[in-house]
Amino acid sequence: MTRWLDEDEQRTWRAFLAASQRIQEDLDRQLQRDSGMPHAYYAILVRLSESPERRMRMSELAAAANSSQSRLSHAVARLEERGWVRREPCPADRRVSWAALTDEGFAVLAAAAPGHVGAVRQSLFDRLSADQVEQLATICAAILREPGS
């Protein structure tokens, strides 16, 4: 009863897997090598830096950075050890805690950003035409659309 993938679908699927894994690995390696952090940590710092007062509630931050709460919790623990992020209690709701980017964290992020953007261009945008970039945006939006729509 299974609808197997036909040959074209098979090829597309494997290319997609290989391409997305390759990009993830390239970025991870570049950031780890040049800035001593995995890409997931970089994403966290970026979201914080874009937020008003450079701080967010843990659960918002998790959603914004495509992370599970557990992953975020562990990650922020490490980032705190390095002095890049600080946790602050929320007076209004004591279940909540804020994660705030420290000045040192911001400096580290600023130093990491150019190399990271370079890697993104090199692994993705430099390889695609303007049309393809637009197509990719549409495709990714479709993938992310909720099931019931």
Partner DNA sequence: CCAGTTTACTTGAACTCTCAAGTTCTACGA
Partner DNA sequence: TCGTAGAACTTGAGAGTTCAAGTAAACTGG
Residues lying near DNA in the complex (CB under 7 A): 25, 28-29, 32-33, 37-38, 40-41, 57-60, 62, 67-78, 87, 90, 93-97
CB 123 within 8 A of CB 30: no
Rank residues 32 and 123 by Cβ distance to DNA and give the closer one.
32
Q: Does 70 contact a second copy by CB under 8 A?
A: no
Question: Considering the complex, what minimum distance in angstroms separates the CB of residue 7 from DNA?
Answer: 27
Chain center to CA of 70 = 15
User: Which residue pairs from 141-144 have beta carbons closer than 8 angstroms and sit at least 24 positions apart in sequence?
Assistant: none
Distances (CA, A) of 26 to 12, 56, 84, 131, 146: 21, 28, 24, 24, 29
Interface residue list for a second copy (CB under 8 A):
1-5, 8-9, 11-13, 15-24, 43, 66, 113-114, 117-118, 120-125, 127-128, 132-145, 147
